[in-house]
Amino acid sequence: MQAQQALFTARGKVSLEPVTIGEPDENQLLVETLYTAISPGTERAFLLAEPNTITHRRGFPFPPGYSNIGRVLAVGNAVTHFAPDDRVATRLPHVSHYLVPETLGPGEVAAKYREQFRSPIMPDVPAVGLHYVWKLPPDLGEAKLKESAPFGIVSVGVTGARYGRIDLGEAVLVIGLGPIGLYAAQCARLAGGFPVLGLDPVAARRELALKLGIDAAYATPDELANGHPLMVGDAPRVVIEATGKPDVVNLAFRLCGRNGRVVLLGSTRGVTPEVDFYTDVHRKGLTVIGAQVLTRPALDNSDGRWNAWDENALVLRLITSGRLDTRPLIEHEFPASHVADAYRLIQESPETLGILLNWQ
């Protein structure tokens, strides 16, 4: 079978390229993609080969995407828990059709598939996660399938809230109300953060945050100087940095309260200069937490860290049950044949929150 895959071919250049897909072996599913979600910040960084990206280190080509909703076309004769026409979610890239081994929980990918399912973002980490496949409820309509498409992006927000170990009633500040920040803020609220506050200079993002249930959103750090009437103390106990901007890391340290926790959720694209660790971290007793999703454990869940399988399964349940809202963040939908237009949009409009590619 001839499939089509989105590929970054050079800095700022993307196209659909042909790939050949064989028949499923005895343990595989053949899946046709329905929708994939573009993560604007991350994929823009890789498209432009910004610092701390694999394209900056190793160049092109690069296959983007990690949030895929599809329909099973065929299964191998040893597959037991999936059948043709099942709707499934995977962490596979933007591609029209693909083969994926049947998996029923967390664990290492079988040796024969290992190289195929190594992460293109961090190819040196163990080959786990990308081969997972989650079965969706059979009664999901088209609207819910679209809403489920950003699940991989939402899982980053869940990681930020979970790594922060938010206790019921702790004030949480999310810096940066892009898609990662808005999902992290929703998850912080679900985890018991109270109040949950946001900081972003873009008015439309602040307005959306309030519609999603965030308690207050500020344009500048100065507006936080007097705290919030629902907050115990004058500074939040948990700060989630979701911009990925190196200079904002220092701001996160300064805004966090004594003995608090700063979660570095956004992947910083460069080096943070002149960090005053004594004044801003050591003397305040801060805990600094790196929240790269590929640091999640492969197998067992631990206190504050769930494996990728269970984390993404939870995200899909939150979305399909309506407990977490992705609809307002899906601003644009492009047919997959117009993939170049979709990526041109995130280059020209960095404030874009969410884009779906429709592969039907």
CB of 53 closer than 8 Å to CB of 118: no
Residue 106: band (very low, low, confident or very high) from pLDDT cuts 50, 70, 90: confident
pLDDT (mean) for 106-125 = 75
Weakest mean pLDDT among 12-16, 30-34, 124-128: 124-128
**From CA 351, how far away is CA 13, in angstroms rounded?**
20
Q: What's residue 74's pLDDT?
A: 98
> Looking at residue 318, what is its pLDDT?
97
Query: What is the model's pLDDT at position 119?
Result: 74
Q: What is the pLDDT of residue 120?
A: 76
pLDDT, tens digit, 9 for 90 and up, residues 318-358: 999 999 999 999 999 999 999 999 999 999 998 999 999 99
Q: How confident is the model at residue 125 (pLDDT cuts 50, 70, 90)?
A: low
- Would you state the pLDDT for residue 304? 83
- % helix, strand, coil for the chain, step of 5: 30, 25, 45
- Whole-number pLDDT of residue 127: 55
**What is the mean predicted confidence (pLDDT) over 33-37?**
98
Match 């994939």 to its residue by tokens.
36
Q: Which residues contact 12 (CB under 8 A, 6 or more apart)?
A: 47, 48, 347
Contact 264, 291 (CB under 8 A): yes
Q: What is the pTM of this model?
A: 0.94
Q: Which fold has domain 153-295?
A: Rossmann fold (3.40.50)
**pLDDT of residue 96 exceeding 70:** yes
Please state, in angstroms and rounded to a whole number, the distance separating the CA atoms of residues 331 and 120.
Answer: 27
- Residues 304-329 have pLDDT tens digits of 899 989 999 999 999 999 999 999 99
The arithmetic mean of pLDDT across residues 44-49, rounded, is 96
pLDDT at residue 242, rounded to an integer: 97
Q: What is the mean pLDDT of residues 23-33?
A: 96
pLDDT, position 128: 59
| pLDDT tens digits, 145-157 | 999 999 999 999 9
- For position 67, what pLDDT does the model report? 97
Question: Average model confidence (pLDDT) for the chain?
Answer: 93
4's tokens? 């089509």
Round to whole Å and give the CA distance between 84 and 346. Answer: 35
Domain boundaries, the chain: 2-150+330-358, 153-295
Task: Considering the domain delimited by 2-150+330-358, tell me its CATH architecture.
Answer: Alpha-Beta Complex (3.90)
pLDDT over 90 percentage in the chain: 82
| Averaged pLDDT for residues 112-118 | 79
The pLDDT of residue 62 is above 70: yes
Strand partners, 98: 31
Read off the pLDDT of each residue in 263-268 and give the average, rounded to a whole number: 94
Average pLDDT over residues 249-269: 95
Q: Model confidence at 260, in pLDDT bands (50, 70, 90)?
A: very high
The confidence score (pLDDT) of residue 297 equals: 82
Whether residue 22 has pLDDT greater than 90 = yes
Question: Across residues 213-231, what is the average pLDDT?
Answer: 90
